Amino acid sequence: MSAPKVLFYVQHLLGIGHVKRATTLARAMAAKGLEVTMVSGGEDIPVLDASGMNFVQLPPVRASDRTFQGLVDEKGEPVGEDIKDVRRRILLKEFENLRPSVLLIELYPFGRRQLQFEIQPLLEAAIAATPRPQIVSSVRDILVERNRPKRDAEMVETAKRYFDHVLVHGDPALIPLDRTFPRAADISGMMHYTGYVVEHEKIAGATGHQGEGEVIVSSGSGAVGELLLRTALKARPLSILADARWRLLAGYSLSEDVFQDIKREAGSGVVVERARTDFIELLKNCVLSISQGGYNTVMEVLATGARGVAVPYAGGQETEQTLRAKLLEERGLIHQIPEGELTEHRLVEKIASAMESQPPGNSGIDTAGAENSAKLISEWAAL
């Protein structure tokens, strides 16, 4: 008997958090005996681990800027109907060939409205299919906060019309979905809190010594983060960790000119390199993590027991990272600096505070999201 099949659609537009979380979920599903095909619509990511799944790359598109108001192709040109048509045909062909037991769509209908040109035809194909797959939305703990009652109503209507389940990858004891989505009660019968998605097996398997005693400064693998890296260079000689080795990790979307300029600015005792595949090992061994406040990174900081300072991204209308960082700081689990307040002097102060505090230890937050999600999807695939 062949393994049940899952088609997982994901699109990252600026950073890589969405697709990184998706690949973690895909590996957890594969460990449960599911055959997972992931269709990714974002730019290629050199550090992405796509093992354990069939990975299909659509012609890549990304956000035109930090406001997410437009889409551009890999050359930076506005996305035209030709690219949309190619992407749509590939996506529908994958569905037709696979005939999955479960169709999993990341974020939609609670985001990714710009991608309706391909998501909507996929959903129509799914509800018309015989047998019809279980249709599942996969969303993080916090949605972008906007006061748009009409848009919220559309999300609820779409969820009820097309979807069977909504996986919420968070812990309601930290933040329930209704904190950032006022209409959550309308879909409560579809919602399943999974806990936060963390790859515990990779953490347990990271037994090397890379990063030992270092300060790890990571700007993620998205297009933002230059300010954090440059501020860290200025803060180092003023901080209580001035004698430690600092390792600055730049995202692959940071321009090569900026990357080389930062390398030239770095003095002795500072390593500047692109994001690495062994980031988990670096966190396990570091004396301090300084990072942006993305979902994946802050949860990995907590899961590895590292001391952490976060500078949550707040570009455009983004509020998600800021809210999560504040909640974690209130629990004494990380220290955070709002992006608009980041200076070398604030960073020096937060470094001192973090080093004076005890390591976070057991956070009390549910981080079994990958395993719990895979278990639920396995059950739905068998229906």
Same domain, 190 and 213: no
Q: Tell me: pLDDT of 310 over 80.
A: yes
Same domain, 266 and 300: yes
pLDDT, tens digit, 9 for 90 and up, residues 4-34: 999 999 998 877 788 999 999 999 999 999 9
- Residue 111 inside a domain? The answer is yes
Choice among 36-50, 277-291, 292-306, 321-335 with the minimum mean pLDDT: 36-50
SS3 label, residue 108:
coil
Q: Tell me: pLDDT of 66 over 70.
A: no
Contact 75, 53 (CB under 8 A): no
Per-residue confidence (pLDDT) for residue 284, from 0 to 100 = 95
Per-residue confidence (pLDDT) for residue 341, from 0 to 100 = 93
- Residue 303 inside a domain? The answer is yes
- Residue 283 inside a domain? The answer is yes
- Which of 307 and 48 is assigned the larger pLDDT? 307
Per-residue confidence (pLDDT) for residue 13, from 0 to 100 = 82
Contact 254, 225 (CB under 8 A): yes
Same domain, 98 and 157: yes
pLDDT, tens digit, 9 for 90 and up, residues 326-363: 999 999 999 999 988 999 999 999 999 999 998 887 78
pTM confidence score: 0.93
Q: What is the CATH number of the domain that holds 291?
A: 3.40.50.2000
Using 50, 70 and 90 to split pLDDT, how confident is the model at 252? confident
Count up the domains in the chain and report the number. Answer: 2
Please count the residues of the chain.
383
Instruction: State the average pLDDT over residues 82-105.
Output: 97
- Residue 204 inside a domain? The answer is no
Q: Tell me: pLDDT of 56 over 70.
A: yes
pLDDT, tens digit, 9 for 90 and up, residues 286-302: 999 999 888 999 999 99
Per-residue confidence (pLDDT) for residue 317, from 0 to 100 = 61
Going by C-alpha positions, the residue among 9, 82, 5, 68 that lies closest to residue 41 is 9
Query: Mean pLDDT highest for which of 70-79, 84-93, 246-255?
Result: 84-93
Query: Mean pLDDT highest for which of 4-18, 137-151, 161-175?
Result: 161-175
- Residue 156 inside a domain? The answer is yes
Instruction: State the average pLDDT over residues 201-212.
Output: 94
What is the rounded CA–CA span in Å between residue 158 and residue 138?
Answer: 14
Which residues form the domain of 267? 209-356
Q: Which secondary structure element, helix H or strand E, spans residue 86, and what is its range?
A: helix 81-98
Using 50, 70 and 90 to split pLDDT, how confident is the model at 116? very high
Choice among 162-166, 212-216, 250-254 with the minimum mean pLDDT: 250-254
pLDDT, tens digit, 9 for 90 and up, residues 211-247: 999 999 998 655 468 999 999 999 999 999 999 999 9
Using a 10 angstrom Cβ sphere, with 0-12 exposed, 13-18 middle and 19 or more buried, the burial of residue 26 is buried
User: Cβ contacts of residue 276 below 8 Å, gap of 6+?
Assistant: 47, 249, 282
Same domain, 169 and 252: no
